[in-house]
Amino acid sequence: MTNQMISKVEGQELILERVFNAPRQLVFKAFSEAEHLKHWWGPRGWTLSACTVDFRAGGAWHYCMKCLDKNQGDFYGMESWGKAIYKEIVDGEKIVYVDFFSDAEGNELDTMPSAHVTTTFLEQDGQTKLISRSRYASVDELKKVMEMGMEQGITETWDRLSEHLQAVQS
């Protein structure tokens, strides 16, 4: 089942699941440390040009994704800022945060949907099953991010995570 993402929508919630061929603590670190995130966060052709992480309840992760792929047409050179405010962290097991689009200063763009995200890391025979549940304020908000290409973006992001995990373990 490794590398196959399961994606389903239930009301105003997007649920994603995937098994990664890496120990749970390493996958957790990949989500919690800037040095890891810089290597895999974002869809293919995008890089993190800015990334600061204050990984604690009440802390924040602020980042900028920039498109470096000339083949992506109008997206080339585009920047997309995002921010996460951590609500709960259980080391190695769970990260709960509010995720939203932001400006370079970290102010929320209230014209864009935000999500309450719970990411769970489950040990599974030396591998890690990752479950991400993103709850939006409404079905329409979830529909808006899906229409923006959220599913493809997350699939490519998690493919990059899988590649990064393989690289750091070899």
Give residue 40's pLDDT.
97
Q: b/e map of 94-112 (b: 16 or more CB within 10 Å)?
A: ebbbebbbbeeeeeeeeee
Residue-wise pLDDT for 129-151, tens only, equals: 999 999 999 999 999 999 998 88
Q: Is 37 helix (H, G, I), strand (E, B) or coil?
A: helix
Q: Is 69 helix (H, G, I), strand (E, B) or coil?
A: coil
pTM assigned to the model: 0.93
Residue-wise pLDDT for 70-96, tens only, equals: 999 999 999 999 999 999 999 999 999
CATH of range 6-43+89-169; options 3.30.530.20, 3.40.50.1000, 3.90.480.10, 3.20.170.30: 3.30.530.20
Nearest to 14, CA basis, from 93, 85, 113 = 113
Domain boundaries defined on the chain: 6-43+89-169
Give residue 4's pLDDT.
85
